[in-house]
Amino acid sequence: MIRGHKIRLYPNNKQATYFAKASGAARFAYNWALTEWKRRHEAGERVTESGLRKELNAAKKEQYPWMYEVTKCAPQLAIKNDLNNAFANFFAKRAAFPKYRKKGIHDSFSISNDQFEIEGRKVWIPLLGWVNMAEELRYDGKIIGASVSRTADKWYVSVQVEIPVPKAATTGENQAVGVDLGVKAFATLSDGTVIQGAKAGKQCEAKLRRLNQELSRRQGARKGESKSRNFQKTKRKISRLHAKMAHIRADQTHKLTTMLTRNYSLIGIEDLNVKEMMGSPRFARSVADMSFFEFRRQIEYKAEASGSKVVVADMWYPSSKTCSNCGYELPELSLSIREWACPQCSAHHDRDLNASLNLKHYAEKNA
């Protein structure tokens, strides 16, 4: 299996400038290849990523000589990996048509495994040299590749390592649990445990609003004006705040998914239609604050490593309105009703706890 370890970098000014240039080369190559793909597709020509890479490589000596200032992997892997994967996701109907990349948004570039080295708390990058890392690489195994990215004003390296599938390490043998995700509480477990959401967005909402108002008053907020230093300062503050919110959400999700996969051998969850939930003006912000999609992604790969099994109930499974005691299903149950009594067996239910119990039963039946 392939695992990634994301480590913060501590570049000096020269190294940070190199990272920005390499990210720019990757962004230019991605946008150039996307334009060429569109043009040739409209002309009825066959387009391949290998053909686009060869053409860019042949043209860069005369047309784009500045690309030689950074590693050759930056533009090449932007086409081979990033654009290729973007089209693969589009044709598989997992994502929309690829969009052009913009400067300052998700700046990153990739490096192949034969073009960099890691030694202790340092990474060697072509045409740059050794860059300090915050910690040593966590995994032992074959290094597949790496990508350097910027979050706010901090740089990180994410190293992909191929490791053997670990032996099952789940301590909760033959234990099952149902997990109901929600907006009021992040997760309700079938054993009665309630995990409240960190609600990073709500925590930082007032400060974010104030900074956005401050940014709108800075010189350069209107089109056609040059960006002032104060404009850039406020923009960096906003980026740092968004990064802080993302880190709070990631910390909560990692802790919960790790706990579940280490303590339970069978986990029942529901396939939530996050896209439709995000379409509701009433719940969109709260749903985004909970990171439901990231929870599903993490619990599945961690379960594989720990020996647990995740059973996913269909999104139409009536987990909330089915009595976990006798199986009676209510015809309707509005979102405003948090508790209800079963008309058949008179059992009293908390909406979220009842849903988690039903997900546990579903997992036990369909494991």
Residues identified as active-site: 180, 270, 352
Collapsing DSSP to helix, strand or coil, 124 comes out as: strand
Q: Is the separation of the CB atoms in 354 and 324 below 8 Å?
A: yes
Closest to 84 (Cα-Cα) out of 39, 43, 53? 53
d(CA 28, CA 26) in angstroms, rounded, equals 5
Q: How far apart are CA 99 and CA 83, in angstroms?
A: 10
CA proximity to 268, closest of 226, 307, 221, 314: 314
DSSP string across 292-361? HHHHHHHHHHHHHHHT-EEEEE-TT--TTTB-TTT--B-S---TT--EEE-TTT--EEEHHHHHHHHHHH
- Of 324, 294, 290, the closest CA to residue 195 belongs to 290
The DSSP element (H or E) to which 144 belongs, if any, is strand 142-151
Token representation of residue 214: 């401050």
